[in-house]
Amino acid sequence: MAYTIADLIEHAVDLVPDRIALETADAELTYAQLEEQANALAHTLQELGVQPGDPVGLYSRNTLECTVAMIAVFKARAVMANVNYRYVEAELEHIVTDSGMKVLIHERQYSDKVAAVLASSQHQVAGLIVLDDDSGLPAPDGAITYTEAVARGSRERDFGERSDDDLYMLYTGGTTGAPKGVIWRQEDIFRVLGGGIDFHTGEPITDEWQLARDGAENPQLVRFPIPPFIHGGSQWAIFQSLFACGKSVVYPEFGGHSSWEAIERHKVNVVMITGDAIGRPMVDALAAGRRDGSAYDTSSVITIASSAALFSAAVKDQFLDLLPNLLIVDAIGSSETGFSGMGFAQKGATEAGPPRVTADREAHVLREDGTPVERGSGEVGILARTGHIPLRYHNDPVKSEKTFKVFGGVRYSIPGDLATIDADGTITMLGRGSQSINTGGEKVFPEEVESAVKAHPEIFDATVVGVPDDRFGQRVAAVVSTRGGRRPSLSEINEVARERIAGYKCPRSIWFVDEVKRSPAGKPDYRWAAQVAASGEPDERLVPAAQS
């Protein structure tokens, strides 16, 4: 058996070659067409010198060609290095050098940046493949186009046997430092993110054809992963769909209204988002409807699934008010753990604060010494996962040693998220310990405050950080954007927040901005928010009575 990404997709190709695998506004690919293009591109990668285990960079938005390129990399037994399309030249150079990529596949619009980086980098890339877009920029010297690469490669599936030990690498977002590549065995990442362990029952599959066979025997499910493919959750939403003979809808740009237009056009069943960063614009667009005042057709939508970013109770409730039969799934996980648990929202029963999920059997909450936190005690511990976990960080043995630890003969992945665990096994995520705010000896977790602040109807988005305070060491501060330009007072905001969190957790300072900056994956950029707070006086500050 081979639980590799390429093998699992090839099983679906063999069972449903004529089904549509990928679809966008004006183009589609059947499973057979996807197979032919991916085979040809994989052979061209090999012609350019790519060997099993060699990194291949992928620098693109969500397109059909980008999806084919991902699959081609795995068919050639190479290792994909995902590149954030918003990176500046210094960040791009870091990925090129750190990964040691043999070939870089990139959209044409990034050609100037690629050419500048390769001219200055000490690392030499053996080949460039350009994915066409509407930019019209000239390709870097020596590059070949995607069309040329597919035309010259063999369409045969003759890559030889693959191994469960073939590698998968995911570069982390890098909002608090240089991005790091997390290295997984393909079987391990498949088990925790690809359906290799049933997300509901926790039971592992024992037949590599099971997902494809089940998908082929049932009506086709249509998925729409909206976040960029630099985000692991979005990559794996595509892979899950392809393993199970489904259809994936792929668009390079996000917009609230354009997303509902795509959902209507393609009759999407499952929408994948990253929390409020995508969910809030979508729910606002759904409430507003089309420009002519008519409502969007949402009859095909069964589920909205969120992961990797805060999905606040206020936004969940808005979705459920508009779509009362919608199933809302809120999952937790990370680049270093994969899936760790999920929760379901019900109308009128969503909870403010950070995510609360039912943990899977390999997720644990530990103390620093590796002993388990007592369930129901309220004690804050560190979220850990055992079982199918990564091998290491790429090129970083020090960070690897800090994150992947052995306690009592059991190896854990411990990326730094703090959590509590209830008596029934429900885990409450509190965020990274490095982001917690210590105000007068009390720990405050930003995600909890962000969720409470965003319950105010005029707050569109918020990021919460700690700023220096002479008396308390730190005070809670919020950087927010609003709807329609009106700025509610801090007292008005906290009046709503206090219904959900204790008074000492409420913001004491606030900065208003036009847009709250987030990563392309929708995660808060705490470094940016701290810079905003440090750049000048707040728009409003509350002084405790004892200090006045």
Nearest-5° Cα angle at 140, 134 to 142: 125
Type and span of the H or E element at 411: strand 410-413
- pLDDT tens readout for residues 382-425: 999 999 999 999 999 999 999 999 999 999 999 988 899 999 98
Q: What is the pLDDT of residue 441?
A: 78
| Residue predicted with more confidence, 346 or 501 | 501
Residue 176 has pLDDT above 50, yes or no: no
Per cent of the chain over pLDDT 90 is 76
pLDDT, tens digit (0-9, with 9 covering 90-100), for 315-345? 999 999 999 999 999 988 889 998 888 888 8
What local confidence, expressed as pLDDT, does residue 320 receive? 95
pLDDT in tens, 418-470: 899 999 989 988 877 778 898 887 888 898 899 999 999 999 999 999 999 88
What pLDDT shows up at residue 175? 44
What is the structure's pLDDT at 248? Answer: 98
Domain with CATH 3.40.50.980 in the chain: 5-183
Using alpha carbons, list the distances in angstroms from residue 115 to 69, 108, 112, 183, 443: 20, 11, 5, 28, 47
**CATH code 3.30.300.30 region(s) in the chain:** 436-547
pLDDT of 546 reads: 43
Position 453 scores a pLDDT of 95
Q: Is the pLDDT of residue 206 over 90?
A: yes
Residue 433: predicted pLDDT? 73
pLDDT at 352: 57
CATH of domain 254-432: 3.40.50.12780
Q: Just give the CATH number of 436-547.
A: 3.30.300.30
CATH node for 5-183: 3.40.50.980
Which of the pair, 106 or 440, is modelled with greater confidence?
106
Mean pLDDT check: name the lowest of 128-142, 247-261, 375-389, 514-528: 514-528
Q: Which residues contact 494 (CB under 8 A, 6 or more apart)?
A: 503, 506, 507, 542
Residue 174, pLDDT > 80, answer no
**pLDDT at site 438:** 86
- Quick one: pLDDT at residue 227? 92
Residues in Cβ contact with 218 at an 8 Å cutoff, skipping those fewer than 6 apart: none
pLDDT of residue 442: 82
How far is 4 from 2, CA to CA, in rounded Å?
6
When the pLDDT of each residue in the chain is averaged and rounded to a whole number, the result is 92
pLDDT digits (tens, 9 = 90+) for 240-286: 999 999 999 999 999 999 999 999 999 999 999 988 889 999 999 99
CA 520 to CA 274: how far, in whole Å?
A: 10
Domain with CATH 3.40.50.12780 in the chain: 254-432
Q: Sheet containing 103-107: which strands, arranged edge to edge?
A: 79-82, 55-59, 103-107, 127-131, 144-145
Q: What is the model's pLDDT at position 179?
A: 82
